[in-house]
């Protein structure tokens, strides 16, 4: 009799994420890491002091399951100011262990075996695995290059009687594209016409450039009634290691979301929630981020302007796509590894952001770095 355990993987094709692969390669070769999406500068000292304050004051046991009440109230006020929408903090907001947990929880709450969910690609790599783990079917819609726009009529052709959800990311990681009013109205019409739930990943809501405005699903009344929107404190306040986020949804959807949330993490970091509640009292702390990051985007583009890297339009996020086709005919994964090993700069290939691994001869560069780091990386890339 065999002593081996019989394992039937729910994710048989899943391996180590490309972010871990490239960051490990960067460490191995002492390369400048512009691959993984985290800032290399510190968060605001005021926020650190607030976190320490609430740890010292003893808020170190469980928070309420939906989240600290004051934090949810402050977020409701923020949503009203930013998107002109009224959210009940008691029934419409849940604090989560990062936006990724909120996304997984939302998919787990509503996708059942055999259900389809449409993903707009390129897409953050946590969406499809969460669908598959829950027995669902991930259907991909590739945006139109190079502007990365959606043909909503073509997208609706993917909808079938089994389709239950559309997942959108606005601003989009890794494309840097943003939706305009026509996009959100089309999404509203399609979701209403086909009775679909919309899962809207809006973690880069405050990182939007060139005078554009972030348009949330929360700002469109009919769309808001069938949407779950997810957000990230970590992305907004340069504290990705805190893994703090939140979800916003109408009461019927949030009720189902919390059923899963309470048996998953139940509640998240209490002193950090208290600190964030105080920190949100000054809106300029998040409304100033667009100009802060646009300067970094422009600095990187200028530093690489004399190279054969060609930037695509970046209207949001802290990622810039670059076309390297004039430099090499290598596939994007091979090129990213070659660049790390031979020129000391780590980037992310775009193919892992597609379910079928489409190679578009593009790499993603994270510009959430100090100007010194960006300048040093650009100097290395200028040697190509």
160 CA to centre of own chain: 27
Q: For the chain, give the mean pLDDT.
A: 96
Q: Which CATH number is correct for 18-43+287-381, 3.90.1150.10, 3.30.390.10, 3.60.110.10, 3.40.50.300?
A: 3.90.1150.10
Q: Domain 61-285 adopts which CATH fold?
A: 3.40.640
Judge whether residue 1 has pLDDT over 80: no
Over range 92-101, report the average pLDDT.
98
> Which percentage of the chain shows pLDDT scores above 90?
94
Over range 64-92, report the average pLDDT.
97
User: Start-end ranges of CATH 3.90.1150.10 in the chain?
Assistant: 18-43+287-381
Band the pLDDT of 2: cuts 50, 70, 90.
low
User: Start-end ranges of CATH 3.40.640.10 in the chain?
Assistant: 61-285
Judge whether residue 305 has pLDDT over 70: yes
């Amino acid at each position: 009799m065999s002593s081996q355990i019989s394992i039937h993987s729910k994710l048989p094709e899943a391996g180590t994420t490309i972010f871990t692969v490239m960051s490990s390669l960067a460490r191995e070769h002492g390369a400048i890491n512009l691959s993984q999406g985290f800032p290399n500068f510190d968060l605001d000292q005021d926020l650190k002091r607030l976190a320490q304050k609430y740890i010292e004051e003893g808020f170190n046991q469980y928070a309420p399951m939906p989240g600290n009440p004051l934090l949810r109230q402050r977020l409701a006020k923020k949503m009203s100011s930013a998107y002109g929408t009224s959210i009940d903090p008691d029934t419409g907001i849940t604090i989560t262990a990062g936006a990724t947990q909120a996304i997984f929880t939302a998919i787990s709450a509503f996708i059942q075996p055999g259900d389809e969910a449409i993903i707009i690609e390129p897409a953050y790599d946590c969406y499809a695995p969460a669908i598959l783990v829950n027995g669902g079917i991930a259907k991909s819609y590739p945006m139109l290059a190079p502007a990365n726009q959606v043909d909503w009529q073509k997208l609706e052709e993917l909808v079938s009687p089994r389709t239950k959800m559309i997942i959108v990311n606005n601003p989009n990681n890794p494309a840097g594209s943003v939706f305009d009013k026509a996009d959100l109205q089309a999404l509203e019409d399609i979701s209403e016409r086909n009775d679909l739930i919309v899962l809207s990943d809006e973690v880069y809501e405050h990182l939007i450039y060139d005078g554009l405005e972030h348009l949330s699903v929360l700002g469109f009344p009919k769309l808001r009634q069938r949407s779950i929107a997810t957000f990230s404190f970590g992305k907004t306040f340069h504290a990705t290691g805190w893994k703090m986020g939140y979800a916003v949804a109408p009461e019927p959807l949030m009720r189902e979301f919390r059923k899963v949330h309470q048996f998953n993490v139940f509640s998240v970091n209490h002193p950090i929630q208290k600190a964030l509640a105080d920190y949100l009292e000054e809106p300029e702390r998040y409304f100033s981020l667009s100009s802060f990051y646009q300067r970094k985007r422009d600095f990187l583009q200028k530093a690489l302007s004399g190279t054969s890297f060609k930037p695509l339009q970046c209207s949001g996020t802290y990622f810039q796509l670059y076309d390297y086709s004039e430099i090499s005919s290598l596939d994007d994964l091979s090129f990213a590894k070659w660049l790390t090993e031979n020129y000391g700069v780590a980037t992310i290939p775009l193919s892992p952001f597609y379910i079928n691994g489409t190679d578009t001869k593009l790499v993603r560069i994270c510009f959430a770095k100090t100007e010194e780091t960006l300048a040093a990386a650009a100097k290395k890339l200028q040697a190509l």
